[in-house]
Structure 1
Amino acid sequence: MTERETPELDGGPRTLLIVEDDESFAKALRRSFERRGYEVHACAGLEEMREILQTMQPDYAVVDLKLATGSGLECVKELHEADEDTRIVVLTGFASIATAVEAIKLGACHYLAKPSNTDDIEAAFDRTEGDTSIAPAARTTSIKNLEWERIHETLVETNFNISETARRLGMHRRTLARKLEKKRVP
């Protein structure tokens, strides 16, 4: 029996913290992980997470990158500082190389683009090494992708402050907001 099939970790239930501001998605994740034997705690942001960490330390955490009250990267940092053994997976609908690199530097074990399901997340928890079989992209990066990467790199630098990001990129705040609302074009 593998660790994933066993709902116990070191003699007790595996504990999971979900930091997600989308209530319906958080609820669905919670139910799915509870069915797999996890003890699940959920919150919508950094302040709630801090309160939960006063009473428990999770074995695993799923953190949304873009929270209504700020950046999930701050949550990753604090979770990792509280316990380096916590396996943290970052989920995002705004995937970029810059935020992926920062998430890993801050202590996440993996970074997944939404939509991701429980199987994807649990597999990411179990990954402890990189995969050398992944081939580099066969095509060159488009101008739209370069723009997307630069926007997200600047968002990380400004701690997801839209106004400051727009100022640094030399564009109007509303223009930046429209670009962020669009789906990424590969």
Structure 2
Amino acid sequence: MAERELQDIGEDRSLLIVDDDEPFLRRLARAMEKRGFETETALSVAAGKAIATARPPAYAVVDLRLEDGNGLDVVETIREKRPDARVVVLTGYGAIATAVAAVKIGATDYLSKPADANDVTAALLADGDNLPPPPENPMSADRVRWEHIQRVYELCDRNVSETARRLNMHRRTLQRILAKRSPR
């Protein structure tokens, strides 16, 4: 399979990965290198745009929400410098509006986190007409909800009252959810 993937990648194997989650970024970069890509990584919109301008990649994986801005800015820069690049947008916030915006700007595909290297590779190498196959083990709806609540909780500096207000739920309900183990 690795030989087939190398053929599918083509001559230019450059891959830019932009994500502010450093452990995830390192894991994905290592996994993509094992699949034959020549990876370069960035932790911010500014760094991603600088790399895309200096060395436009053939492939890119860009997180939608980064600490210093919107990942779609990086996608736009890549599209300006290299219109044939294949770009996959990753996000922890799966919403139809952001998926439409990503595709309009020029993303090849849109994946919800946590996406593994197999999902990313399939999306990057999919033909324009053929969609990549659905994930083998997608997250359950309960797991997606739990992940979203955890993310908002972390963004609110683990403040239960603020998180409950932003999620429009009762504080005690949120406390019960946070006390439970994550669903499968």
What TM-score do you get using the length of structure 1 for normalisation?
Answer: 0.66
Structure 1, 81-90 or 49-58: larger mean CA deviation: 49-58
Tell me how far 1:66 sits from its aligned partner: 0.8
State how many pairs are aligned.
Answer: 142
Does the 8 A contact of 2:62 with 2:87 survive in 1? yes
**Structure 2 match to 1:82:** 81
Cα shift at 1:102 = 0.3
1:179 corresponds to 2:167: yes
Equivalent-residue separation in structure 2 for 1:50 and 1:84 (angstroms): 15
Provide the residue aligned with 1:64 in structure 2.
63
- Find the aligned partners of 1:8 and 1:122 in 2 and give their Cα distance: 9
- Residue type of the alignment partner of 2:46: E
Matches within 5 A, 1:5-154: 5-6=6-7, 9-10=10-11, 12=12, 14-127=13-126, 128-129=128-129
Q: Helix, strand or coil for the counterpart of 2:48?
A: helix
Taking a change above 3 Å as real, the CA distance of residues 96 and 32 of structure 1, as seen in their structure-2 partners, is same
Q: Is the 8 A contact 1:33 1:40 kept in 2?
A: yes
Query: 2-side partners of 1:39 and 1:97: how far apart?
Result: 31
Q: Percent identity?
A: 39
Aligned counterparts of 1:8 and 1:109: Cα–Cα separation in 2: 15
Q: State the Cα distance separating 1:103 from its structure 2 match.
A: 0.2
- Kindly provide the CA deviation profile for residues 61-104 of structure 1, in whole angstroms up to 9, marking residues without a partner as x: 00001111111111112211221111000111101000000000
Change (3 A) 1:91 1:176: farther
Shift of 1:129: 2.1
Equivalent residue number for residue 156 of structure 1? none
CA spacing shift, 1:20–1:96, aligned 2, 3 Å: same
Q: Following the alignment from structure 1 to structure 2, what is the Cα–Cα distance between the partners of residues 99 and 118? A: 22
Gap regions ≥5 residues in structure 1: 135-144, 149-173
How much does 1:124 deviate?
0.6
Tell me, in whole angstroms, the C-alpha distance in 1 between the residues paired with 2:35 and 2:56. 19
Cα distance in 2 for partners of 1:109, 1:117 equals: 17
Q: CA RMSD in A?
A: 3.0
Per-residue deviation, 1:50: 2.3
**Unaligned residue ranges in structure 2 (runs of 5+):** 135-144, 149-161, 169-173, 178-184
Q: Does the aligned pair in 2 maintain the 1:7–1:37 contact within 8 Å? A: no
